[in-house]
A = this chain, B = another copy of it.
Amino acid sequence: MDASIRLFAAQGFERTTVSEICTQAGISKGAFFHHFPTKQDVFLQVLDNWLATLDVQLKTLITSSKSVSDGLVQMAALTREIFNQSNGQLGMFLEFWDQSRHDPEVWKVTVAPYRKYTQLFASYLRRGIEEGSIEPVDPEVAARMIVSMAVGFLLQNLMDPQATDWENTVVNSMNLLLNGLKRRTT
């Protein structure tokens, strides 16, 4: 898996061959195909693992947060970890998006998490509205906005890491957004 991630991120999914993955990983083709019927299967497994980690982190925050507005700030701080951990891995994002335009199977798996996280944020915001920490906004719109921000920041951090301190920008942006979302105590 590690060898695949390195190669996919560096030279792209298309250009990477199973032979290269096997050489990098020091395994035989037999061993490779024993675990993964196709190169696409490794690709999808990489995405699955990555999302599984993210799921655990998000769910921990959601269940442990004192209030929804607090939880959202902590989630923004999570991006620090995401930006760091995923050094080489972030390049995979573009690969997934690019592949999914040509491959309906990859498309299904790539699009699913965006839909899932939108629903997760929407229901989290609904909880915030109910508990009174969030203004009665449209939770779906706010959720799509948060997901879009995350995607946009991830991509810019990947493309232009030197442009700014992206981690602080994400945290400050979430605070800015919360200026509009947080329940005014008037």
- Give me the interface of A with B, judged by CB distance under 8 Å: 11-12, 14, 91, 94-95, 97-98, 100-102, 107, 110-111, 114-115, 118, 135, 137-138, 140-142, 144-145, 147-153, 155-156, 159-160, 163-164, 169, 172-173, 176-181
In the complex, residue of chain B having the shortest beta-carbon distance to the beta carbon of A9: B101
Q: What is the minimal beta-carbon distance from A32 to any residue of chain B, in angstroms?
A: 25
Q: A14-B14, A138-B172 are in contact. Are A156 and B98 (CB under 8 A)?
A: no
Contact A102 B12 (CB under 8 A): yes
List 29 contacting pairs A-B, 8 Å CB cutoff, sorted by A.
A12-B98, A14-B14, A91-B101, A94-B94, A94-B97, A94-B98, A95-B98, A100-B159, A114-B160, A114-B163, A138-B172, A138-B176, A141-B169, A142-B176, A144-B153, A144-B173, A145-B169, A145-B173, A145-B177, A147-B156, A148-B156, A148-B173, A149-B149, A150-B152, A152-B152, A176-B181, A179-B179, A179-B180, A180-B180
